[in-house]
């Protein structure tokens, strides 16, 4: 089934400070990465979608059902993993997942089988009967995403999925995310652009409370690539080049040379050429700098 999340003209303020300004977008099945600087409004938008905050105005619908005010959205239809995922430390992992099944009204006759499947899927067998206080950061994030997908979740919202994880755990978590994102809407906020490039179908860039870009990974890279050039220079020339162009990436090649990616402008740099390998991070930084955000 194709699911749809429709966000229309959502506004939110803290006092006189505008946090979200007429946010409008649509998300369908697949993974949408929500990118933006700290304070851009990403977490606020997620909390509004999940009902933890109420907007000043606007409308949010999941498959035509009003998420803000209607009473006919079941808890089993939306899964949420906040950045700070805190559970009472003495609770066993299994008991916690069992409790989540109960509050999502999962059929008691099917609960045991469903729990077995999700424990196996997220490789929790080794720790599931232990108190959560004994879990490593990686296991705690696995438990968090396991509780989010329990039930008939049509929308999964995850805030900073790989925060605090080491590189090996991040790689493992990317695998889990790619598995859950095919047949439901999965909205993920992250500061790690590399993660978003690897598992996302769509990218939503938000800053200063407004959407700056909404499209596929290939779209944002394609839009930015013609404006990104590169040059290899000596380390001692780096400071001067930084003064003449807007640099978006620097990569040390050896003890003497650095490869610089920069935004093409009126300043000519000898031996520079169009960059062929533009990453999502390059494109994201390009958009931010063009709009004076970075």
- The tens digit of pLDDT for each residue in 185-196 reads 999 998 888 878
Mean pLDDT (the chain) is: 88
Judge whether residue 254 has pLDDT over 70: yes
Distances (CA, A) of 37 to 98, 193, 207: 36, 11, 7
| Residue 270 vs residues 229, 230, 232, 240, 266: alpha-carbon distances, Å | 12, 10, 10, 13, 13
Q: Mean pLDDT throughout 72-84?
A: 80
Cβ atoms of residues 98 and 175 within 8 Å: no
211: confidence class by pLDDT, cuts 50, 70, 90: very high
Give me the pLDDT at residue 269, please: 84
At residue 70, the pLDDT reads 67
pLDDT (mean) for 191-205: 86
Q: The tokens 């006189």 sit on which residue?
A: 16
Q: Mean pLDDT, to the nearest integer, of 126-146?
A: 91
Question: How many CA atoms lie within 13 Å of 223's alpha carbon, on the beta-carbon side?
Answer: 17
**Does the pLDDT at position 73 exceed 70?**
no
Confidence category of residue 292, pLDDT binned at 50, 70, 90: low
Under 8 Å CB-to-CB from 271, ≥6 apart: which residues? 231, 232
Residues 6+ apart with CB under 8 A from 281: 193, 194, 197, 249
- Closest C-alpha to 154, from 187, 184, 130, 195: 184
- What is this structure's pTM? 0.86
Question: Does residue 238 register a pLDDT over 90?
Answer: no
* CA–CA separation, 83 and 29 (whole Å): 22
pLDDT of res. 207: 87
> What's the token pair of residue 275?
């960059």
Structure confidence by residue, pLDDT tens digits, 14-38: 888 899 999 999 999 999 999 988 8
* Centroid of chain to Cα 275: 27
| 120 sits in which H/E element | helix 108-121
pLDDT at 172: 78
pLDDT > 70? residue 71 = no
| Cβ-defined contacts of 174-181 (< 8 Å, 24+) | 174/198, 174/199, 176/122, 176/142, 176/145, 177/31, 177/145, 178/31, 179/121, 180/145, 180/149, 180/156, 181/29, 181/30, 181/31, 181/156
Judge contact between 124 and 143, C-beta under 8 A.
yes
Give the per-residue SS3 of 63-94: CCEECCCCCCCCHHHEEEECCCCCCCCCCEHH
Report the share of the chain in percent with pLDDT over 70.
96
Task: Kindly state the average pLDDT of the residues 161-184.
Answer: 77
Mean pLDDT of 285-289: 89
SS3 label, residue 269 = coil
Q: What is the mean predicted confidence (pLDDT) over 50-60?
A: 91
8 Å CB contact between 39 and 63? no
Please measure the distance between the N-terminal and C-terminal CA atoms of the chain and give it in whole angstroms. 40
Tokens of 4: 């749809």
């Amino acid at each position: 089934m194709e699911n749809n999340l429709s966000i229309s003209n959502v506004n939110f303020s803290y006092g006189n400070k505008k946090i979200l300004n007429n946010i409008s977008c649509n998300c369908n099945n697949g993974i949408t990465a929500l990118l933006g600087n700290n304070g851009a409004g990403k977490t606020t938008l997620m909390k509004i979608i999940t009902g933890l905050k109420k907007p000043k105005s606007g409308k949010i619908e999941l498959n035509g059902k009003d998420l803000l005010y209607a009473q006919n959205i079941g808890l089993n239809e939306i899964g949420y993993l906040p950045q700070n995922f805190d559970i009472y430390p003495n609770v066993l992992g299994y008991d916690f997942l069992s409790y989540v099944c109960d509050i999502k009204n999962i059929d008691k006759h099917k609960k045991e089988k469903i729990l077995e499947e999700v424990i196996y899927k997220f490789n929790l067998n080794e720790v599931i009967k232990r108190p959560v206080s004994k879990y490593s950061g990686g296991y705690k994030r696995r438990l968090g995403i396991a509780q989010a997908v329990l039930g008939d979740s049509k929308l999964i919202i995850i805030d900073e999925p790989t925060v605090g994880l080491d590189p090996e755990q991040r790689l493992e978590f990317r695998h889990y995310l790619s598995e859950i994102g095919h047949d439901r809407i999965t909205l993920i906020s992250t500061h790690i652009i590399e993660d978003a490039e690897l598992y996302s179908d769509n990218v939503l860039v938000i800053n200063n409370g407004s959407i700056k870009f909404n499209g596929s990974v290939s779209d944002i890279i394609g839009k930015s690539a013609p404006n990104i050039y590169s040059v290899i220079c000596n380390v001692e020339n780096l400071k001067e080049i930084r003064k003449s162009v807007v640099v978006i990436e620097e990569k040390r090649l050896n003890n003497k040379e650095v490869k610089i990616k920069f935004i093409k402008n009126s300043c000519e740099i000898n031996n520079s050429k169009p960059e062929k390998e533009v990453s999502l991070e390059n494109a994201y930084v390009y958009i931010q700098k063009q709009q004076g955000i970075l």
